[in-house]
């Protein structure tokens, strides 16, 4: 959990750059990447809260590859509608989501290890795998933000 907490702190440090954009790096501005990352963390945590504790391991090549590589290729996937904003993203909304994320991450520390959720591309993930996914996903977007800010 410490890794995700550190990533949340990194998100907080980038809120001040919310309006910065650079189309050569990403079509979306910094605010969109922050908002999306927090939506993913919060939505995964909420699904895990409601999950049955019935996880049973089965081999899944996509999941195994993703968790082994620990990297998301840029520009290859489209975010599901549930974790995108179509309205203007305000710093207040990002800060609210950040506060929720801190709360939910603390709650995840107490969850059963067989708690699980189904990712649309890599399949069913138990709690430990879900946390690794959140670290990989959040790091991916923070790197994009760093590149946007480098080229600004």
DSSP label of 121: T
Provide the pLDDT for residue 56: 86
CA-CA distance, 80 to 47, in Å (whole number)? 15
Give the residue among 122, 121, 146, 138 at the shortest CA–CA distance from 45: 138
Provide the pLDDT for residue 73: 83
Q: How far is CA 27 from the centre of its chain?
A: 18
Provide the pLDDT for residue 14: 98
How high is the mean pLDDT in each 10-residue block of the chain (152 residues)?
A: 94 98 95 97 96 89 93 78 79 97 96 93 94 97 97 65
Q: Say if residues 40 and 83 touch (Cβ distance below 8 Å).
A: yes
Provide the pLDDT for residue 37: 97
Beta-bridged to residue 119, according to DSSP, are 123
Helix (H) or strand (E) holding 125: strand 123-126
Q: Report the phi/psi class of residue 62: left, alpha or beta, with left for phi > 0 and alpha for psi in -120 to 50.
A: alpha
Long-range contacts of 143-146 (CB under 8 A, 24+ apart): 144/25, 144/26, 144/33, 144/74, 145/14, 145/17, 145/30, 145/33, 145/34
Alpha-carbon torsion angle 7, 58, 56, 77, nearest 10: 30
């Amino acid at each position: 959990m410490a890794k995700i907490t550190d990533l949340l702190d990194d998100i907080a440090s980038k809120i001040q750059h919310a309006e910065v954009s650079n189309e050569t790096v990403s079509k979306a501005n910094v605010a969109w990447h922050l908002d999306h990352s927090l939506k993913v963390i919060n939505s995964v945590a909420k699904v895990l809260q409601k999950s049955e504790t019935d996880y049973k391991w089965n081999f899944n090549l996509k999941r195994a590859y993703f968790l082994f590589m620990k990297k998301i290729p840029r520009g290859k996937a489209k975010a599901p509608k549930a974790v995108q904003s179509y309205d203007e993203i305000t710093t207040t909304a990002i800060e609210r989501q950040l506060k929720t994320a801190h709360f939910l991450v603390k709650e995840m520390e107490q969850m059963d290890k067989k708690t699980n959720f189904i990712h649309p591309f890599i399949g069913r993930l138990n709690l430990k795998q879900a946390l690794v996914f959140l670290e990989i996903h959040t790091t991916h977007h923070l790197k994009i933000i760093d590149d946007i800010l480098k080229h600004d």
